[in-house]
Amino acid sequence: MAGNTFGQVFRVTTWGESHGTAIGATIDGCPPGIPISSEDIQSDLDRRRPGTGGAASPRKEPDKVEILSGIFDGCTTGTPLTLVIYNKDAHSRSYDYLKDIFRPGHGDYSYLMKYGIRDHRGGGRASARETAARVAAGAVARKLLAFHDIQVVAYTMSLGGIDAENIDFSAIAQNSLFCPDMEAAARMEERIIQVKQEGDSLGGIVEIVATGCPPGLGEPVFNKLDADLAGALMSIGAVKGVEIGAGFEAARMTGSQNNDQLTPDGFTSNNAGGILAGISNGDPIVARVAVKPIPSIARSQWTVNLENEPVEINIGGRHDISAIPRIIPVCEAMVCLTLADHLLRLQTLEWTPEHFELDEE
């Protein structure tokens, strides 16, 4: 049973292969009346494109999105939206030498084991290119969230072992790594250049914050808001860890240190990351993800071919040094999709009380 659909009420199905005809997303469950244009979507997509930063690959996909359905007079109609991005700059040929070998750190081996068929052209569905469809769909979710004054922003907290320390959110927009510490950002860029020369790649940590969330989002017990966020974020290819609020640090704290006490003015701390017992408590929702280094490196590695013979592999092609910063709008998109879904899920439970009151009159 395939798994290309995300969400229960705001449901997104992404489709398309890295080197096929097109990639896209189909959204079912978006309420009517939301003004949305392809420009709204494009601006998020453009943030995911190869930038000028040293971490980026030179692939030049315009990633131009078209809306095929679901919009009338500039607004959603309540019917499904389909967003399509045609593939233009797909050099399938350049992957032909990979046809018979498994790239370390990639899904080549596990995909073949699963399907018995292999689309070796740049990873197929496992390609990071699939995330463009997520970003497109996330842009629609973001518009929906904006009605509730919910904002989602992500930024780089660590890259190549260098941590952001003096946090200044106004710095995020001022460097190509979206790091809230200009000084750290500069050192990260240096580290990227150094590692690029070494033919290697880097991982890092991205933090995502959602502000303006009303209390009440999240469904006990399996669809807790943090559970769904963790699943959403871990579904991004390069992510190997997710934590909420104090996260792994909480494992080393005592209860008196970790508990967020309440005052008439709100919580005194936010170790919970805005989520108590799986339900939003009105404080900012804070999540962090561990991003592994890009597996495609310009160094010789050992692997096997389809006959299970050892071969040395040297991966060419166009590859980033780090999934950061391009993964940042993807993280935002997954959080937007999760929150939009839970906002709509909430409606089904909020309904009765208002009528209940009528009934009691």
Question: Which CB atom, from 114 or from 173, has the smaller least distance to a copy of itself?
Answer: 114
Give the shortest CB-333-to-a copy of itself separation in angstroms: 12
For residues 159 and 179, is the Cβ–Cβ distance under 8 A?
A: yes
Q: Which of 204, 329, 330, 333 binds a copy of itself (CB under 8 A)?
A: 204
Site string for a copy of itself, 77-106 (x = CB under 8 A): xxxxxx-x-----------------x-xxx
| Contacts to a copy of itself from residues 210-239, by CB under 8 A | 214-216, 218-224, 226-235, 237
* Binding pattern for the stretch 176-195 against a copy of itself, x by CB under 8 A and - elsewhere: -------------------x
Distance between CA atoms of 287 and 275, rounded to whole angstroms? 10
Nearer CB in complex with a copy of itself: 75/182: 75
What are the beta bridge partners of residue 122? none
Q: Which residue intervals of 6-83 are DSSP H helices?
A: 38-48
Q: How far apart are CA 94 and CA 77, in angstroms?
A: 42
> Could you tell me which of 193, 164, 197, 201 has the C-alpha nearest to residue 181?
164
Site for a copy of itself in 321-350 (CB under 8 A): 343-350
Between residue 38 and residue 77, which ones bind a copy of itself under the rule CB under 8 A?
Answer: 66-72, 75, 77
Binder among 58, 170, 197, 252 for a copy of itself (CB under 8 A): 252
CB of 339 to a copy of itself, least distance (A): 14
- Choice between 44 and 228, CB closer to a copy of itself: 228
CB 59 within 8 A of CB 318: yes
Asked if 201 touches a copy of itself (CB under 8 A), the answer is yes
| 41's tokens | 């979507």
Binder among 246, 328, 331, 335 for a copy of itself (CB under 8 A): 246
Cα–Cα distance measured from residue 258 to residue 240, given in angstroms and rounded to the nearest whole number: 24
The count of C-alpha atoms lying within 13 angstroms of the C-alpha of 315, restricted to the half-sphere facing its C-beta, is 23
DSSP class of residue 129 equals: T
Window of 51-59, 174-182, 200-208, 325-333 that interacts with a copy of itself by CB under 8 A: 200-208
Q: How far is the CB of 171 from a copy of itself (least distance, A)?
A: 20
Q: For the segment 267-306, give every residue that binds a copy of itself (CB under 8 A).
A: 268, 271-273, 275-282, 290-297, 299, 301-304
Q: How far is the CB of 274 from a copy of itself (least distance, A)?
A: 10
With 0-12 / 13-18 / 19 or more C-beta atoms within 10 angstroms meaning exposed / middle / buried, residue 1 is: exposed
175 binds a copy of itself (CB under 8 A): no
Nearest-approach distance from CB 53 to a copy of itself, in angstroms: 17
Structure tokens at 199: 């033919």
Q: How far is the CB of 340 from a copy of itself (least distance, A)?
A: 11
Cβ nearer to a copy of itself, comparing 170 with 261? 261
Select the residue interacting with a copy of itself from 36, 48, 98, 130 (CB under 8 A).
130
Per the CB < 8 A criterion, the answer to whether 258 and 246 are in contact is yes
The residue among 102, 124, 71, 121 whose CA lies nearest residue 237 is 124
d(CA 234, CA 47): 21
Are the CB atoms for 241 and 179 separated by under 8 Å? no
